Amino acid sequence: MAAVSEFYRDKAVLITGATGFMGKVLVEKLLRSCPQVATLYVLLRPKGQHSVAERRQQLLSAQIFDSLRRSSPSQLEKLVAVPGDIMQPGLGLNSVDRARLEQEVSIVFHSAATVKFDEALKVSVYMNVKGTQSLLHLAKKMPKLEAFIHVSTAYANCDREVIDEMVYPSPADPRKVMDTVEWLDEDVIADMTPRLLGNRPNTYTFTKALAESLIVSEKGSLPVTIVRPSIVTCAWKEPLPGWIDNFNGPTGLIAGSGKGLMRTLLCDENLVADIVPVDVPINLMITAAWHTAVHRPQEMLVYNCASGSIRPIYWRQVLKYGHNELRRSPLSDVFWYPGGSFTKSPMLHNFWVAVCHFLPAYAIDAVIMLMGKKPMMVRIHSKMLRAMRCLTYFTTHQWTFKSNNCLALLDQMSLEDRKEFHFELKDMDWESYISTYCLGVRRFILKEEDKADRARRRLNMMYYLHHSLRLLLFLLAWRVLVSRSGSVRALCTSLLNLALQLLRLRPRIAS
């Protein structure tokens, strides 16, 4: 057995954030590729009408566990739900569960976080900073602890252009920020949030930077390692190519563009789109825990898990590859022909939003209301554009993420481990991956059946409607210009005469 898999033999692992996108992939990968792992404890809280036991079943009902259900169903029994809440004091653990975790756990993966960019500061601080502090306190009481892997983000230091694999000075004192949000009213916190954020774009990146600083000051002798993924996207190779379970980031862009709803995005297409498939940081996290425990580095290591410095893809390529695939394999019931463009001009972007988004949306809603039904298009466009605005900072800026520690880790892995826990991006075919991404959005997010003929017919109809409308608008604009301006009319006549003369001369030139 490969060294990494063997390391997890008979080990108990604690995972926070197991119901999240990355958390699900982490659980599946550990159960499948580390079959001798003893127990996976996952911290879960009741949510809505669902108990902790029901949420465990919901987690295991995800499609990515189908293969394990068929081949090794007993592996799923190793997943043990522990009632708790990362936002509560002491993680909301009872004394029995706390004692069991303290006595048994050897590896901790801390991936719980609120990833909403526009989350209220108080919620973001409680989840991303205070939750990390509570988990560190628990880890200090684990005599068997060999590795504590904290999942941060490559954009925690987005106020810098070049980001090395190190923890930078904190934008604020994390303890003071935690005290502030605990005692002040939410309205006061909302008013002071912009001043606290400074030149960071949102509460997510701000609190992730605070959490890293807190770890440095409070970890003591704990064997902590930080992994920083960039923009995490659908699975590349495993557990299912194209698998995704949320609309975040480029996923919403693909869905909106594929349906013909997304027509413009504020984005500099010449910048690097630093996306990374979800299986890459998951394999890196599992391997980093092995390295932390076995090699025991003297200093805390940080891994920037990004693609830009290794195998870059630019936003213009994302647009091109995406459009090609969405037209080759169209989504069902498209609202309009897939298209649209990127622009880095806010003024031009706002113009196209008004013309291509809200003008048609209001017109369609008016027709829907005349039919006695509830309008929906303006609401859909507003929600979609609000989500895309959260991406604007990351589509109009570029960073250089150094990944020397990732490369060094690869050198210390056996060939078997490099294959089983693959996180090397040098062999990435981005065109093929974006194609897989589009198909994954259709299959796993939109849950569309494969009705290729029907989807193709509708796409062809929308193609002719799209270009007919463009021609009509051009002719109307031409008519207005020609009728209103004598100079424009004279210029058009001269150009037409010149074109006719060139056409008459063409045979003579050819002869």
If you write DSSP's letter for every residue of 249-291 in order, what string do you get?
THHHHHHHHHTT---EEE--TTSB--EEETHHHHHHHHHHHHH
Which amino acid does the sequence have at 468? S
**Element containing residue 80 per DSSP (H, E):** strand 79-83
Q: Lowest-confidence range among 55-59, 216-220, 337-341?
A: 337-341
Q: How many helices (H) and strands (E) does the chain have?
A: 23, 13
What lies within 8 Å, CB to CB, of 25 at 6+ separation is 64, 235, 239, 243, 278, 279, 282
- Would you call 233 exposed, middle or buried from its count of C-beta atoms within 10 A (0-12, 13-18, 19+)? buried
Kindly state whether residue 449 falls inside one of the protein's structural domains: no
- For residue 472, the enclosing domain spans 468-510
The reply to whether 488 falls in a domain is: yes
> What are 100-156's pLDDT values in tens digits?
999 999 999 999 998 888 889 999 999 999 999 999 999 999 999 999 999 999 999
Count of structural domains, the chain: 1
Tens digit of each residue's pLDDT (9 = 90 or more) over 359-406: 888 888 888 888 888 888 888 888 888 888 888 999 999 999 999 999
258, 442 in Cβ contact below 8 A? yes
Examine residue 500 and state whether it is found in any structural domain, yes or no. yes
pLDDT at 484: 62
Q: Whole-angstrom Cα distance, residue 357 to residue 480? A: 24
DSSP 441: I
Higher pLDDT, 364 or 504: 364
Peptide bond into 239 cis (omega under 30): yes
- The string over 289-304, giving b where at least 16 C-beta atoms fall within 10 Å of a residue's C-beta and e elsewhere, is bbbbbeeeeeebbbbb
In total, the chain counts a number of residues equal to 511
Rounded mean pLDDT of the chain?
A: 90
| Residue at 461 is within a domain | no
Which residue has better confidence, 357 or 21? Answer: 21
* Per-residue H/E/C for 208-228: HHHHHHHHHHHCCCCCEEEEE
Asked if 233 and 245 count as a contact pair (C-beta separation under 8 A), the reply is: no
In a domain, 393, yes or no: no
Residue 438 lies in a domain: no
Cα distance between residue 167 and residue 331, in whole Å: 43
Where do runs of H (alpha helix) occur along 47-130? 52-60, 66-71, 73-76, 95-104, 121-125
User: What distance in Å separates the CA atoms of residue 112 and residue 464, rounded to the nearest whole number?
Assistant: 47
